[in-house]
Structure 1
Amino acid sequence: MTTDILAAIPSPPQGVWHIGPVAVRAYALCILLGIVVAVYWTVRRYVARGGRAETVIDSAIAAVPAGIIGGRIYHVITDHHLYFGEGRDWVDAFKITNGGLGIWGAVLGGGLAVWAVLAYKKVPLAPFADAVAPPILLAQAIGRLGNWFNQELYGGESEAPWALEIYRRVDENGNIDQMNGVSDGFVLTTVQPTFLYELLWSLLVVVLLVVADRRFRLGGGRVFMLYVAGYTFGRFFIELIRTDAATTVFGDIRINSVVSAVVFIGAVILFIATRSRTRETPDYVAGPAPDTDEDNDGEPTRQ
């Protein structure tokens, strides 16, 4: 099928490059770039609040793998039809680089890991959550570029100028391989680029979070609550546009729409209920100083 339109957003001709036996996937690179940017920005925000940079690094070491595992588990559960049943190979559930990470599983898995690290260090969670909220959402926006390379997570057919071209991709033998192949130039269809809508919405919410945080000196986890409320508000409507196969509940409602609505309501209630909270002092944010002792030369020795 071809579409005669004046303009459209092209998809990348491929999402995988092979360097010898190694497959370099754009989706994985986008995820990694998002993580690096999020860690760097979180260090700056957390230190500005009074925290220690090493706390962010230690938390990231635990949160990144936990977040990826949690995100994958959520995706596999909510989109189980892609991996289990007739004609499916359950081994594909472990192929994370092919795409498929559920943000709420990632936030939950990474959040639990961070909570464990901070509890061990006896450092309060709320200031860290407020510092990490905008960087997390920025990382999500960067990660959405991976969906562009994979030609996935889009809506129905469209002839709008911002519609996305979906190319036919083939392998070296000319067989259709949408995930690993290279475009032969044939446009299968043009669709609503819902990944782009979510990317732009996320960037808008990032700006709003930073402005609100500076203007009102938010504390007590309220920046994180705003992040959750802002992201889920947009995600609810974007999810309604998507046409990719998804698990549905309550008849024909996509499960991610339901989750977004429930989480949005919870975040708004928490934000209102904690309106008396203020920005924490730097001493409180940093937590107890690392244990030290003086050796015979008067130099501090870590225990």
Structure 2
Amino acid sequence: MYPPVDPIIFEVGPLALRWYGLLMVTAIFTGSTLASRFLSRNGQDPDDFWDMLVWVLIPSLIGARLYYVFIQSPRGPEGLGYYLSHPASIFRVWEGGIHIFGALIVGGAAVWLYSRVRQLPVLLYLDAIGLALPLSQAIGRWGNFINQELYGPPTTLPWGLRIDAPHRIPPFTDLVTYPDTVRFHPLFLYESLWNFLGFALLFWISRRFAQHLKPGDLILSYLMVYPLGRFFIELLRTDSWFFPGTPFNAVHIFCAIAVVGAGITLYNRHGEALRQAFKGH
């Protein structure tokens, strides 16, 4: 697999339109359209969602970037030190480097606060976002492909990704040990495919079991499905710091908490109905 295009679509003076930004906007608009239609089907005014969007997107992007900078910090051997020495680089989101967990934490808090202020059904709004997020993530991950980031260790698999020397991180910057012919696991692709599958599953659940779902069930389902796949994909990451002597990092902890917590909550919500259904058979 080869990056097929230059990261910059075109430039006008100091301004540049980048594929990364265009894909992010496409992902946000596609997901937001889906979420607003879900709310409309459930008796809500979709305009309320679009009004909320700017108040949630900005905190989400800030949270996503700060998580990446202060927790992920994969920029070469310097890690966080690079950003502390070059603080202006913290704001260069268009170069890549945002993290979904930061967006979920800060964005979720923004949704809750906005819904409380506007007296909107917060769980239903979170369901709409939980349904739309996997599709948005699946689209947005292709920005990582164009920026030649989010790749794993070397592989001989036929779908291995070529990474140019300027985009490599240690130890893969050693072109003697890892020459230009070496290919790497395309983690962006693995996560994009997982998210497409996750979206298909959640969409099917939202339609097939619409009469049985409670507000909040879809966001809980998302918090089980996405982190489950992310847990295993994270084991192949090459740009994260890991707990010494282990293949695990902070993302694994967040994923485990999300999957177990959401699973227990869903069972407590529907366990009795499931038991009755099994008794009926």
For this structure pair, what is the TM-score category when the shorter chain's length is used for normalisation? 0.7 to 0.9
CA deviations on 1:30-60 (whole Å, 9 max, x unpaired) are 1111111111111111100111111111111
How far 1:91 sits from its partner (Å)? 2.5
Residue in 2 aligned with 1:249? Answer: 243
Tell me the secondary structure at the aligned position of residue 232 of structure 1: helix
Give the fraction of aligned pairs with identical amino acids, expressed as a percent. Answer: 32
Letter in 2 for 1:248: F
Tell me the secondary structure at the aligned position of residue 223 of structure 2: helix
2:188 to 179, 182, 195: 195
2:268 to 268, 273, 277: 273
In terms of mean alpha carbon deviation, does 228-237 or 188-197 score higher?
Answer: 188-197
Letter in 2 for 1:96: V
1:138 to 135, 140, 159: 135
Structure-1-length-normalised TM-score: 0.78
Larger Cα Rg: Structure 1 or Structure 2? Answer: 1
Unaligned runs of 5+ in 1: 1-8, 169-175, 179-185, 279-303
Aligned length: 255
User: 2:272 and 2:15 mapped to 1: Cα distance?
Assistant: 51
Residue in 2 aligned with 1:292? Answer: none
CA deviations on 1:103-132 (whole Å, 9 max, x unpaired) are 111112222222222112211111111122
Instruction: Determine which structure has greater relative contact order: mean sequence separation of CA pairs < 8 Å that are 6+ residues apart, divided by chain length.
Output: 1
Q: Does 1:53 align with 2:59?
A: no
Retained in 2: the 8 A contact 1:62–1:110?
no
Residue in 1 aligned with 2:229? Answer: 234
Retained in 2: the 8 A contact 1:126–1:219?
no
Unaligned runs of 5+ in 2: 169-178, 274-281
2:218 to 209, 215, 223: 223
Q: Does 1:114 align with 2:111?
A: yes
**Aligned counterparts, 1:1-303, within 5 A:** 9-17=1-9, 18-80=11-73, 82=75, 84-85=80-81, 88-168=85-165, 187=180, 189-217=182-210, 218-244=213-239, 246-249=240-243, 251-252=245-246, 253-275=248-270
CA-based RMSD of the aligned residues comes to 2.3
User: 1:202 and 1:47 mapped to 2: Cα distance?
Assistant: 24
Which structure has more strand as a fraction of its residues? 1
In terms of mean alpha carbon deviation, does 113-122 or 64-73 score higher?
Answer: 113-122
